[in-house]
Amino acid sequence: MRFLPKVHKWNSSRARPKVMPLSALVIVICMFKHKSAQEAHVVVPKNHHRFATYYYIARHYKLALEHVFDTLGHNSAILLEDDLDIAVDFFEYFLATRYLLDEDPTLFCVSAWNDNGKVENIDAQASSLLYRTDFFPGLGWMMTSQLWKEIQPKWPNGFWDDWLREPENRKGRQCIRPEISRTGMTPSGKKGASKGLFFDKHLAKVVLNVANVPFTTMNLDYLLNVCHDFSEFFHRCLLAPIFSAGLLPMTIRVVKERLMERFLS
């Protein structure tokens, strides 16, 4: 179930963050080459030889991030694997949410992926709906140079995404993610490091958004931590009657909608 806090309306006394229009976006493709993991003699623990690819990937990410942030001096980057497809509003989504990372220290990334994004788990009509999540989704995500400065000195030798999810690295911070994913798996995803694990049953079934949502014209301040007052929500939970799931005379979807309506009222 998803529970939404009350949405605070836009404060007219506060200037709306300036967002570059998508039409002004210029895409420049730059490629850089580094030594292969074998040439660089990347060390893989003896008991992890079958996971060697994950150590090669972690090194590749580190070299790429060093180039983007340390060499080129950019203040943000979108990381997108080559086996992912993107939605029509992929860049619009990231342009609109970038300012949230500057204004809210309790956020550390924006992700295009919804791990629970199968058709039976999403509201297909809620293409503009965004959430805060404690879980790092990855698979098409944006980070800042500030975060890179923090994690670069301790970047792991392998399994970088699981490492980023660890409490000592996440530090209680959250990530923005959409109801409907802005990235989708291509058939190439079946040939990756995981050898197609979970591809057919899960990854390939995550729905890719098809609606072009004008996020840059929308007020996304409701995603800032200051706008989330959970005290009232928890109070209502404590006062709510206890039901037996087996006797509940309605589907989970209806329950979810009723709870949302009650909380947002």
Give whole-number Cα distances, 243 to 25, 46, 130, 237, in Å: 52, 52, 29, 12
| Token pair in block for residue 67 | 């180039």
Burial 212-224 (b: 16+ CB within 10 A, else e): ebebbeeebbbbb
Q: Which of 161, 162, 200, 221 is catalytic?
A: 161
Instruction: Judge whether 161 counts as a catalytic residue.
Output: yes
Nearest to 215 by CA among 89, 118, 101: 89
CB distance 136 to 110 below 8 Å: no
Distance between CA atoms of residues 143 and 136, nearest Å = 12
Reported as type and span, the H/E element at residue 62 is helix 52-65
* Residues classed as catalytic: 161
